A and B are shown apart, each in its own frame.
Chain A
């Protein structure tokens, strides 16, 4: 289990992390979300001991030192490999730095290249691969030594939907094998699909924490999808409606400041008559993200 407790890190006057705490259990996936500069990468750098911080970070109750490095698979935000090496040389070199031998890794290379549908052979040089294939090789570098703690910084950025699916499959496989996985993403659909829980950072502070379901429920069912003959202006006059977003013909999304107003709005709209659609839901993660990120500027 990865345990992060009260970590703080300042860069000069800037509070990069301010009392950040969360846990990631074995076999669980945690999504770390937040705007650019919220402190996601700094959190990863702290876990990996790249920088000095205050607070405690432990993996299976021991501090993260070089002894733990072999159990970690890390994919940095900025993709990088050694361009002059072949795929095989690159994978073996990095796996050896993770405590594996060339003999252990060599037979696995083709399997992983196939799993990620990398175009080319293991004898191809990294510099000769397309950007997408280089990214896949880097993902293989992160996973080939079967880490117990996987840290992925924006793993989906730059991947097309097909390759995103390949990565999701690999992440789920690692989860099934008991790895604790933490990843950052701006794509809330991926977070919703993959994560057991999430942490949202804003200005280095935790502003949301919990399972995806719990987080959404905390925001209440403040969204109503309706299909009606009413106009936008008429809908805006309804009680507790703070915003009306037209969608396709006759379809609108109403945003409420109080979820309990749903029944009253339903009565107003229907007056006991048939209505094509009335669906009250909690906000999506994307909306929550926007809402929480927007609060920064308030």
Chain B
């Protein structure tokens, strides 16, 4: 087998078999399961305790309220004694006493906590309507007067659903994209820099370089990490698809999915597009830089520090996106969408905003790919010198002495 592939597969398997990779992969699924589970439990327990009983001397008054609010009322409770017992058992939130005394509609609520605002609004609305009906009946008005008093003000609200959904989809896609790119780049940057720094610290490199060339070894490392991220994306795609199917069919979520179908479709379209290529190339260029950063470390104890410069660059690119959340047409966004290290954030945002033409995307991709190749070529060239330079001197001395190995 080609030595490049031996290094690639060794790097890949070592990462994939590690606990950190398992945690990385399972993390989102565990979060999803916890969220669904917590929602389900809340739904189950909340279904009984939020119901109230309605008690009244006037059966018609009670029936009318129950008819209008059947989801909130436990019909079978008709007296205070039973209601109090149920409240003690935590199976009833409270009871509402409805009465009409001296032509005045009254209501009194007794509960384990305040009546929730939604139900309070419904109770008030019911009381107002009933009182008005009673007042009109008592006033003995003519039909014309009744009609005149029944006039209501008018308020109309028009929402262009498609545009509204598209804007929401853009906002959601924006945040998912930048957080996903940031998290993935951060993770793989740390993994790569620490692995390279550890290898350098253990001085195994002299043995490796007596077996294969530094360029092959360096590229093998980068390809190995790339295979790991590809596997992670594949797992997320299949896992995400499975979660989507589950959400579509689960009693708990299918209504929400159906109500937001167009929004979900828009977000998925934004994510599962050329943006994935930007994510992959982003991982490649940041991995190359992380390998370089790791190669500059002198001791194995400094491995944790190795990733810091690249993590800071990633953090910078991440934060620079914030001011442009609502201003994706800005010239700064356009420029940064061509700049390597930044383009993995900014071009996907432009694509989500429908602001990037095909030619612009192609140019940006070519610049990013060319940068990856040039950076890999140059770092591969000086990699051996940097990796063999283990003097515990200053960063700059190590760097220049490392370069002198190649001259």
Residues of A that sit less than 8 Å from B by CB: 11-12, 45, 48, 50-52, 66, 69-70, 72, 74, 76, 78-84, 93-94, 96-98, 138, 141, 151
Is the beta-carbon distance between B385 and A93 smaller than 8 angstroms? no
**Residues in A whose Cβ lies below 8 Å from that of B401:** 11
**Distance between Cα atoms of A12 and B211 in the complex (Å):** 28
Cα distance, A230 to B206, chains bound together (Å): 56
B353-399 at interface with A (beta carbon < 8 Å): 384-385, 388, 390
B residues with a Cβ closer than 8 A to A are 1, 3, 6-7, 10, 14, 199, 202-213, 216, 384-385, 388, 390, 401, 404-407
The 8 Å CB contact of B210, one of A11, A72, A80, A138, is A72
Q: What residue of chain B has the Cβ atom nearest to residue A84's Cβ? A: B14
Nearest-neighbor residue (CB-CB) of A97 within chain B: B211
B208 CB contacts on chain A under 8 angstroms:
97
Given A12-B404, A52-B407, verify A74-B207 contact (CB < 8 Å). yes
Which 8 A-B residue pairings sit nearest by Cβ, starting from the closest?
Answer: A80-B203, A97-B211, A76-B206, A74-B210, A80-B204, A78-B203, A80-B202, A51-B405
B405 x A69 contact (CB < 8 A): no
Given contact pairs A48-B210, A76-B207, A80-B204, enumerate 11 new A-B contacts (beta carbons under 8 Å). A11-B401, A48-B206, A50-B209, A50-B384, A66-B3, A66-B216, A76-B203, A76-B206, A82-B204, A96-B1, A97-B6
- A78: nearest chain-B partner, CB-CB: B203
Complex CA gap A161/B388 in Å reads 31
B1, B202, B211 — which one has the most chain A CB atoms within 10 A of its CB?
B211
| A45 to B385 Cα, complex, angstroms | 11
Knowing A48-B209, A93-B10 touch, does A81 contact B204 (C-beta < 8 A)?
yes
Cβ of A80 and Cβ of B1 under 8 Å apart? no
In whole angstroms, how far apart are the Cα atoms of A122 and B388 in the complex? 29
Contacts of A78 in B (CB 8 A): 203, 206, 390
- Please determine whether A97 and B212 come into contact, CB atoms closer than 8 angstroms: yes
Smallest CB–CB gap between A16 and chain B, Å?
A: 11
* A269 CB, min distance to chain B CBs, angstroms: 54
Q: Which residues of A contact B404 (CB under 8 A)?
A: 11-12
Task: Classify the secondary structure of B's interface with A.
Answer: helix
Contact between chains at A80 and B10 (CB < 8 Å): no
A52, A66, A79: which contacts B213 (Cβ < 8 A)? A66
Contact of A81 with B10 in the complex, beta carbons under 8 Å: no
Known contacts A45-B388, A50-B405, A80-B207; A69/B202 CB under 8 A: no
Closest to A12 in B: B404
- What residues of chain B lie closer than 8 Å to A11, measured between beta carbons? 401, 404
Tell me the dominant secondary structure on chain A's binding face: loop
Known: A66-B212, A96-B6. A50 touches B1 (CB 8 A): no
How far apart are the CA atoms of A12 and B407 in the complex, in Å? 11
A273 vs B299: C-alpha distance when bound (angstroms): 67
Are A80 and B211 interface neighbours, CB within 8 A? no
- Which of B207, B388, B390, B406 contacts A141, CB < 8 Å? B207
Q: How far is the CB of B366 from chain A (nearest CB, A)?
A: 31
Residue of A nearest to B212 (CB): A97
Question: Cβ of B385: which chain A residues have Cβ within 8 Å of it?
Answer: 51
Q: A90's closest neighbor in chain B, by CB?
A: B204
Given A50-B388, A80-B202, are A94 and B207 neighbors across the interface (CB < 8 Å)? yes
A94 to B209, CA, bound (A): 11
A138 to B210, CA, bound (A): 14
A-B contact pairs, 14 of them (CB 8 A): A45-B388, A48-B206, A51-B388, A51-B405, A52-B405, A66-B3, A66-B212, A69-B211, A69-B212, A70-B211, A78-B203, A80-B203, A81-B202, A81-B204
CA distance A79 to B407 in the complex (A): 27
A124 to B206, CA, bound (A): 24
B132 to chain A, nearest CB (A): 79
Expressed in whole angstroms, the minimum distance between the Cβ of A103 and any Cβ of chain B is 12
* Cβ B202 vs Cβ A94 within 8 A: no
Q: Which A residues lie within 8 Å of B205 (CB)?
A: 80
| CA–CA, A98 and B3, complex, Å | 9
Please tell me if the beta carbons of A83 and B202 are within 8 angstroms of each other in the complex: yes
Partner of B206, one of A50, A70, A84, A93: A50
Residue of B nearest to A65 (CB): B213
Q: Name which residue of chain B comes closest to A73, CB basis.
A: B210
Q: Closest CB-CB distance, B392 to chain A, in whole Å?
A: 13
State in angstroms the CA–CA spacing of A247 and B195 once bound together: 56
Distance from B166 Cβ to chain A, minimum over Cβ atoms (Å)? 49
